[in-house]
Amino acid sequence: MYAYALVKMTDAALVLPKGIVGELHLLGTEDLGAIVEPALSITDIQQDDELLMQAVLHHDQVIRAVFQQTPLLPLRFGTQFTSAAVLLAHLQAEADTYLSRLAHLADNAEYTLKLIPQPMPEEPIDLSTAKGRDYFLAKKQRYQAQQDWLQRQATELTELQQAIVRCYPTQLDNNPQDGQHRWHILAPQPAPTLLEQVKMWQAQYPHWAIHLSEALPPYHFV
C-alpha cells in the first residue's frame, strides 16, 4: 500500500491523477485520508535506476496535483504500509496530530527564495592609456573596488537574512551551495504580499538576485 500524502476528508471530491503505475485511491477514516496506490511495488522499481528516477518525479507530480485542490501533508518517496488495515490503524492512532498539522498549514504554501550573489560589473583597463605606474594604479583601484563590492555583498546578505526571519517566522535556511542561499518559507497563498516584499528586497539589496519559486506543497514543514 504505497502512500503519497495525507489529506483532511471533505465532501468535495478530489480529482486524482494517475499513479506511478496504476490508479490512485483515497483511503481513510471519517476525518483523515491518505492518497494511495494499492498496486504499486516500490521494491521492483528500485532495481532500475531510470525507473526509480521517473518514479521519484511522478511522486512529486502527484503531490503537486493534489495540492492544487486541497491542503495536504506530503509523504516521503517510498512510504509504504503493509496493508490497508495497517494504514487505517495508523491514521486513527495519529489522527489528532495529523489534523492539527493540516489545520496549521491550511491556506499556506511553501515558497523557496533563492539568493544569488551578483558579480561586480566589469570595467576593463584600457592598456592604450594606462601604462606603467598608471596601469598598476588602475589595477590597485580595481582590486579595492572588488573588496568593497564583496564587503557590501556580505553586509546585504546579513541584512536580507534578518529581514526574511523577521517577516516570515516559519522558515528554514538550507546550507549554501556555490555561494547561493536558499530559504524555504511558509506563507499564505496566493502571495501578493510576498511578491511585493521580494520586489522591495531586490531594490534594497542589489548585490543579490532574489528569485521566488511558485507555490509548493509544504515539503519542509510537515
| DSSP run (H or E) holding 173 | strand 171-173
Could you give the count of Cα atoms lying within 13 Å of 174 in the half-sphere of its Cβ?
16
pLDDT for residue 14: 92
Residue 35, all three cell numbers: 492518497
The structure's pTM equals 0.87
CB-based contact 4:59 (threshold 8 Å) = yes
pLDDT tens per residue, range 89-148: 999 999 999 999 999 999 899 999 999 999 988 776 555 555 666 767 777 888 898 999
Average pLDDT, the chain: 91
Classify each residue of 146-180 as buried b or exposed e, where b means 16 or more C-beta atoms within 10 Å of its C-beta: eeebeeebeebbeebeeebeeebeebeeeeeeeee
